[in-house]
Structure 1
Amino acid sequence: MRKLALNDEILLKIEKPARYIGNEVNSVMKDPEKVSIRFAMCFPDVYEIGMSHLGIQILYDMFNKREDVWCERVYSPWTDLDQIMREQKIPLFALESQDPIKDFDFLGITIQYEMCYTNILQVLDLSGIPMQAADRTWDDPIVIGGGPCTYNPEPLAEFFDLFYMGEGETVYDELLNVYKENKKRGGTRKEFLEMAAEIEGIYVPAFYDVTYKEDGTIESFRPNNPHAKEKIKKQVVMDMTSATYPEKPVVPFIKATQDRVVLEIQRGCIRGCRFCQAGMLYRPTREKDVEVLKDYAYKMLKSTGHEEISLSSLSSSDYSHLRELVTFLIDEFKSQGINISLPSLRIDAFSLDVMGQVQDIRKSSLTFAPEAGSQRMRNVINKGLTVEDIIGGAGQAFDGGWNKVKLYFMLGLPTETEEDMRAIPELADQIARRYYEIPKEQRNGKCQITTSTSFFIPKPFTPFQWARMYTNEEYISRAAIVKHAFNEQLNRKSLKYHWHDAEVTVLEGVFARGDRKTSEVIKEAYRLGCLYDSWSDQFDNDKWMQAFENTGIDIAFYNLRERPLDEVFPWDFIDIGVTKEFLKQEWNHAMNAEVTPNCRMKCSGCGVAKWKGGVCIESKN
């Protein structure tokens, strides 16, 4: 019988003990004596967040289909258990077997956002794995990183043995086979890393040296090992229909952030928003066959007992079989009490008709993401929305019975002026005005327009990777301008305004574009007690500022300067397919507020692939 790593006394002391006991529906149990590789898959945040992540579900299913691999899961212990584990010297353990992570062959960590970096150190620390990759031996797991933040892995480089660049369905099997081969012949840890470095898409940080200029910018980034490649190519699954996908995803014991069946309908996006990293990283656009999706819907609902289906995509409205799929899901499952969730939709007549069928209009709100208030600013970011599109979509919604709208914008975008900031509440007021044009007797109560602004963060591999950021005080002053302008609007009683935490934005900016030197700040912040930094009730900006002061790392160097176009970036050794020349071209278009058509309208030659007959083809990867 499986023995829990935590005794009853500890489980009674902590919040939500179900986070740590495993044994959920569809979790995989194997005999450790009958597998060659044990792989611990980690999401460095609390269980409820990690269990909502589709990528881990896909890899968990894919690895466990191999008879020679047992993939288990591990998440960051919440602060209550963290303290007990340190006091009682309990090593971090996997959910399935409850065995210590240190005894595994691999620890794979998905890195989804910058503010989980101290949690990565927590996972290593509690596992008893040396934080620095250079200090590890064959007795320690190979620590591998994946996910969007690995497209600038340098702030984390010294903590990881290797990084996987791209989509996990491609070369993981090759990597695991190489590990088995090396282990069988008694090879060393270094020999395995050299074999791994020869696999396309694998980056081993120890095999590269960085030199710096006097001004602190990078002078050179070169391999120091003959097995290491000059360029690391992002791995892409071109055939989404045949790609592995979990028909029996693990069902959490407690309510997760997204407690539902997830159908991934496509990857990539045709839109080309200049601030959006995902839109560049996940090119080219690839669709999954609609008949396969219908089959997955049946199987996953049956295997999980979930009562909701959600479509996963960067832009669901661009899926070419959306109407057929949504109609099928409604006809087939709505009568069974299954809710259909449709995120990432453009608000048009079809979408409103569908949403009217699948949700309670009186209780729900519609979400628009104009991102910028003025047309000039929307052209700068290449959003591809006009004020007529926005007011027209909202108007159709109001005419259909909705009265609640959520609006999302960014502040601090390149070339932003006070006029652009004030345009945000003015647009919100225009939308409210459109509602009150409806005859009173036909309205559905009072109108509620809730507006949120986040602060723009330049990300690697976007046209805005050269942009400057601002100080915490400057961000707050921009939010104050917007708040003051909201109070001046005619329909202000129908308008609400919230803004993102500027202190967190500043830190995200440093680590989004940081180099290897910034790892010192992460280590120091963790030493000072920083943990769960993406949680507002846990975030401690004073400790982070102390960490910067103690290490001598200058925030201004990373955030407050516009980069010259010829600067060497920490991520320039990665080839995502999109060329740097294309990104420069888009940066120049942004500075001139010029719009680039979406991929289906016209191929702009980004370098990843070409559009032909409405399909993305000829990927160079």
Structure 2
Amino acid sequence: MRKLALSDEILLSVQQPARYLGNEMNVVMKDSSLVDIRYAFCFPDVYEIGMSHLGMQILYAMFNKREDVWCERLFSPWTDLDKVMREQHIPLFALESQDPVKNFDFLGFTIQYEMCYTNILQVLDLSGIPLHAADRTGEDPIVIGGGPCAYNPEPLATFFDMFYIGEGETQYDALFDLYKENKKNGGSRMDFLEAAAKLPGIYVPMFYDVAYKEDGTIASFTPNKEGIPATITKELVMDMNDVPYLEKPVVPYLKVTQDRVVLEIQRGCIRGCRFCQAGNIYRPLRERSLEFLKDHAYKMLKSTGHEEISLSSLSSSDYTHLKEIVNFLIEEFQGKGVNISLPSLRIDAFSLDVMSKVQDIKKSSLTFAPEAGTQRMRDVINKGLTEEIILKGAAEAFHGGWNRVKLYFMLGLPTETREDMEGIALLSEKVAELYYDEIPKEQRNGKVQVVASSSFFVPKPFTPFQWAQMCTKEEFLERAYIVKDKFKEMLNRKSLKYNYHEADLTVLEGVLARGDRKVASVVEEVYKNGAMFDSWGEYFNNDTWMQAFETCGVDPDFYTVRERSLDEIFPWDFIDAGVTKEFLKREWLTALGEKVTPNCRQQCSGCGARKFGGGVCFEDKN
């Protein structure tokens, strides 16, 4: 019987004690004395958020298929338990065994969002692991990071022994085998890191030196050891039917953010939105076969008892066999009390027909993402949506019985004008008007509700907009107020609602997304001053961050509002993410010319992803 790391008294004193118990349905339990490698897999946020993440579940299952590896889960303790653990000197533990994390061979982080960076330091600190990679010894775990934020690892480089760049299914077996071989031969920690740095997709920051120009930009980024590659090429799965996928997902004790079976139908995207990092770093599009999806839908629903299944993709409407998989799920499972969730769909006649079959129209709202209020701005960002398409989709939705619509926009996009900002309110008004124009009074399902939300734009690495300037906090808010005031002028204003994201949080996200190694000192300083759970509004303190920038002598404006030249070396330029810098430059200039680039199925634009082989881009024979 497992001995819990926390006493009953402590568990009864904190919120949601089930976060820390482990032992859920489908967890993997092993005898630690019979494995060669123990891997603590951390999502640096609270349990309910981390247990909703598909990538973590996929790698957890994949690692544990190896008899010589035991992968356990780890999440950030909430603030109440964090306080108790520090006061009582309780070491942070993994859920399955309840053993201290410091005793593991690897501590891996999936880094999904910049505002979780301080939680990474929380986990290291509570585990008793030195924050700096340079201070660790053979007694400490190898600390490895992956996920989308690893495409600019530099603000975290000080804290990590290595980063895995790309999709995890390809190189982890080789990394584990290398670790075992090094251990068997009596090799040191440094021996392992040197050998690992030569594996595809593995970046070991300590083996690279950065030199800076007088203006603070990067002069050079070079390996400091022989045999270490100057460029790290991302790892990519090309045959999506030939890699492990979930059959028995861990079923949480608690209600989590995404409490359902998730069926990943494809990776990548053909759309080419110029603001979207995921659409660039996950190129090219790769689909799973219909038979693969049918088989895993059965297995996962049977092994979990979940009552909902969701299709996962950046753009589900672009999946070749969407109609077949949706009809299969409806025919096979809906009559058995299983709900079907269909996110990331374009709103067209087929999608609405499907959603009318799987949703309670009276309770649900439809989501459109125009991203911009005018056609000019949508062309700049290459959204590929016209106002006609948006309004046609809304009209079909209203005829289908819906009367609640959510519209997502961005503010602060490159070249944005007042007309573009006010266009958000005008487009929302047109959608509301459409309801009253299209639906006879006697057929209406109550009044229409249109909720428009705007996030603030962050120019992310490996996008055409990586050269763009960001707005200041004040500029973001000024733009939001312009939109808000325009909403007040609308005839249907009682049917309209507008809200916007936190401006100061967005600015900070921009610094961390585009930062270099100098930003690490700020992350460490702000953590030591109490920052944690920065993505949670009740704990985010912008003043603490601004004070840390001042203390460390780092100017946040250097990473956000500064204009960048086309020949500047970026902190992430040593990574080959597939899309070339030449392609991104071309797209940046095309955006400034307000021109649209066709999607990957219409025409190959030479982004660079061809070199991986397969994928949608190889369907183009020209």
TM > 0.5: yes
Q: What's the counterpart of residue 436 of structure 2? A: 436
C-alpha deviation, 1:612, in angstroms? 11
Q: What's the counterpart of residue 321 of structure 1? A: 321
Once residues 532 and 401 of structure 1 are traced to their aligned partners in structure 2, the CA distance between those partners, rounded to angstroms, is 40
User: Is 1:138 matched with 2:143?
Assistant: no
Superposed CA offset, 1:318-337 (max 9, x none)? 00000000000001000011
Q: What's the counterpart of residue 173 of structure 1? A: 173
After TM superposition, list the pairs within 5 Å mapping 1:463-478 onto structure 2: 463-478=464-479
User: Is 1:370 matched with 2:370?
Assistant: yes
Residues 403 and 447, structure 2, Cα contact 8 Å, conserved in 1: yes
Q: What's the counterpart of residue 164 of structure 2? A: 164
Residues 32 and 70, structure 2, Cα contact 8 Å, conserved in 1: yes
Q: What's the counterpart of residue 451 of structure 2? A: 450
User: Is 1:521 matched with 2:522?
Assistant: yes
Residues 582 and 605, structure 1, Cα contact 8 Å, conserved in 2: yes
Q: What's the counterpart of residue 563 of structure 2? A: 562
Once residues 459 and 571 of structure 2 are traced to their aligned partners in structure 1, the CA distance between those partners, rounded to angstroms, is 14
AA partner of residue 567 (structure 1): E
Unaligned runs of 5+ in 1: none
Once residues 225 and 126 of structure 1 are traced to their aligned partners in structure 2, the CA distance between those partners, rounded to angstroms, is 33
AA partner of residue 389 (structure 1): I
Q: What's the counterpart of residue 225 of structure 2? A: 225
Once residues 227 and 175 of structure 1 are traced to their aligned partners in structure 2, the CA distance between those partners, rounded to angstroms, is 17
Secondary structure of 1:368's match? Answer: strand
Residues 238 and 614, structure 2, Cα contact 8 Å, conserved in 1: no
Stretch deviating more after TM superposition (314-323 or 537-546):
537-546
User: Is 1:507 matched with 2:508?
Assistant: yes
AA partner of residue 319 (structure 1): Y
Q: What's the counterpart of residue 592 of structure 1? A: 593
Q: What's the counterpart of residue 107 of structure 2? A: 107
Q: What's the counterpart of residue 124 of structure 1? A: 124
RMSD of the alignment, in Å?
A: 1.2
After TM superposition, list the pairs within 5 Å mapping 1:87-486 onto structure 2: 87-437=87-437, 438-486=439-487
Secondary structure of 2:525's match? Answer: helix
C-alpha deviation, 1:227, in angstroms? 3.1
AA partner of residue 152 (structure 2): N
Secondary structure of 1:464's match? Answer: helix
Once residues 20 and 287 of structure 2 are traced to their aligned partners in structure 1, the CA distance between those partners, rounded to angstroms, is 36
Residues 102 and 127, structure 2, Cα contact 8 Å, conserved in 1: yes
C-alpha deviation, 1:618, in angstroms? 9.3
C-alpha deviation, 1:246, in angstroms? 1.3
Percent of residue pairs bearing the same amino acid type: 72
Residues 455 and 475, structure 1, Cα contact 8 Å, conserved in 2: yes
Residues 108 and 143, structure 2, Cα contact 8 Å, conserved in 1: yes
C-alpha deviation, 1:577, in angstroms? 1.1
Secondary structure of 1:157's match? Answer: helix
Secondary structure of 1:586's match? Answer: helix
Secondary structure of 2:466's match? Answer: coil
Once residues 618 and 108 of structure 1 are traced to their aligned partners in structure 2, the CA distance between those partners, rounded to angstroms, is 36
> Alpha carbons of 1:448 and 1:90: their partners in 2 closer, same or farther (altered >3 Å)?
same
Q: What's the counterpart of residue 40 of structure 1? A: 40
Residues 268 and 285, structure 1, Cα contact 8 Å, conserved in 2: yes
Residues 449 and 496, structure 1, Cα contact 8 Å, conserved in 2: yes
AA partner of residue 527 (structure 1): K
Once residues 251 and 612 of structure 1 are traced to their aligned partners in structure 2, the CA distance between those partners, rounded to angstroms, is 36
TM-score by length of 1: 0.99
AA partner of residue 605 (structure 2): S
Once residues 20 and 617 of structure 2 are traced to their aligned partners in structure 1, the CA distance between those partners, rounded to angstroms, is 43
Q: What's the counterpart of residue 20 of structure 1? A: 20
C-alpha deviation, 1:442, in angstroms? 1.5
AA partner of residue 177 (structure 1): D
Once residues 577 and 483 of structure 2 are traced to their aligned partners in structure 1, the CA distance between those partners, rounded to angstroms, is 37
Superposed CA offset, 1:506-546 (max 9, x none)? 10000100000000110011011110000001111111111
AA partner of residue 71 (structure 2): C
Structure 1 residue ranges, 4+ long, deviating more than 3 angstroms after superposition: 610-619
Q: What's the counterpart of residue 534 of structure 1? A: 535
AA partner of residue 28 (structure 1): V
Secondary structure of 1:561's match? Answer: coil
C-alpha deviation, 1:216, in angstroms? 0.4
C-alpha deviation, 1:610, in angstroms? 8.1
C-alpha deviation, 1:568, in angstroms? 0.3
Secondary structure of 2:219's match? Answer: strand
C-alpha deviation, 1:613, in angstroms? 11
AA partner of residue 279 (structure 2): G
AA partner of residue 46 (structure 1): V
C-alpha deviation, 1:611, in angstroms? 12
Once residues 614 and 179 of structure 2 are traced to their aligned partners in structure 1, the CA distance between those partners, rounded to angstroms, is 42
Superposed CA offset, 1:532-580 (max 9, x none)? 0000011111111111111111011111112100000000000011110
> Alpha carbons of 1:129 and 1:618: their partners in 2 closer, same or farther (altered >3 Å)?
farther
Q: What's the counterpart of residue 492 of structure 1? A: 493
AA partner of residue 270 (structure 1): I
AA partner of residue 525 (structure 1): V
Q: What's the counterpart of residue 617 of structure 1? A: 618
Once residues 496 and 412 of structure 1 are traced to their aligned partners in structure 2, the CA distance between those partners, rounded to angstroms, is 20
Secondary structure of 2:178's match? Answer: helix
Unaligned runs of 5+ in 2: none
Once residues 59 and 556 of structure 2 are traced to their aligned partners in structure 1, the CA distance between those partners, rounded to angstroms, is 36
Once residues 29 and 559 of structure 1 are traced to their aligned partners in structure 2, the CA distance between those partners, rounded to angstroms, is 46
Residues 238 and 613, structure 2, Cα contact 8 Å, conserved in 1: no
